[in-house]
Structure 1
Amino acid sequence: MEVRSLDSQLPFTTKDGSTIRSILDLSNAPVRMQSLAEATIPAGGSTQRHWHKDSEEFYFLLEGRGTMEIEGEEREVGPGDGILIPAGAWHQIRTDHGVRMLCCCAPPYRHEDTFFE
């Protein structure tokens, strides 16, 4: 059985600029098909607009509000919102208030699968 406590995970910064604490991923568990992490973006911050060649991604907002942009379409998002980001789709989240969210990637998140303009 694999169980990881969020509080025991050290934060790191991804290539897109968000602060991540991996819950279950390639770095800390025998994961093959997906990864789960908590991401935080401070008030006035954003991720860098990017896309993933291989990974389909879900964001699930736990706290805060922001503007989610996927392929040029924007929508206000907040706690309880789940967002599907298809593989290959340009995306970015911006926030005036700060955001804490869960990120799930399938296949698992890898820095090498993150691309920028």
Structure 2
Amino acid sequence: MKTEYEKVQPYQTKDGSEIRELMHPALHGNRRQSLAEAVVAPGATTLLHRHHETEELYHITHGHGLMTLGDARFEVKPGDTVAILPGTPHRIENTGHNPLHILCACSPPYAHDDTEILVQDLA
């Protein structure tokens, strides 16, 4: 299986980020995980949300941000990786002047149905 970046069409997720599904079972035939690239515009923040089933890994490839993970808030930069356990409220803010690019690995694969937008704000 192989995908080509320029042929993958981006879309908006429930949390407000732009996503390219680089590899997803519903589209590509792999089975137990998905890999996507999220892009957050300068000054933008994704909506606070959680996934009940999915564990995520965020790997920052470009840009700088402020990660909210449960009660913790910390800066992220290229090369940083964050583990997001199921049920953990999270969001990310782009604090830089360029787009923030994040590789998102999900197991089980990302599903809109597993994303709960949270009304309360942890800020």
Tell me the alpha carbon deviations over residues 62-102 of structure 1, each in whole angstroms, 9 at most, x when there is no partner: 00000001101011000000110001100010112230110
Counterpart position of 1:46: 45
**Which 5+ residue runs of structure 2 have no aligned equivalent?**
119-123
| Counterpart mapping for 1:26-65 below 5 A | 26-65=25-64
| Conservation of the 8 A alpha-carbon contact between 2:57 and 2:82 | yes
Percent of aligned pairs with the same residue? 37
Per the alignment, residue 23 of structure 1 pairs with 22
Q: Deviations over 1:94-116 (max 9, x none)?
A: 11223011000000000000002
- Asked whether the equivalents of residues 6 and 22 of structure 1 are also in contact (C-alpha less than 8 Å), the reply is no
Report the Cα distance in structure 2 between the residues aligned to 1:25 and 1:12, rounded to whole angstroms. 14
Q: Which runs of 5+ in 1 are unaligned?
A: none
Superposed structure 1 runs of 4+ greater than 3 Å apart: none
Superposition CA RMSD, Å: 0.8
Asked if the contact 2:34–2:105 (Cα under 8 Å) also holds between the matched residues in 1, the reply is yes
Structure 1 residues 1-117: aligned runs within 5 Å: 2-97=1-96, 98-117=99-118
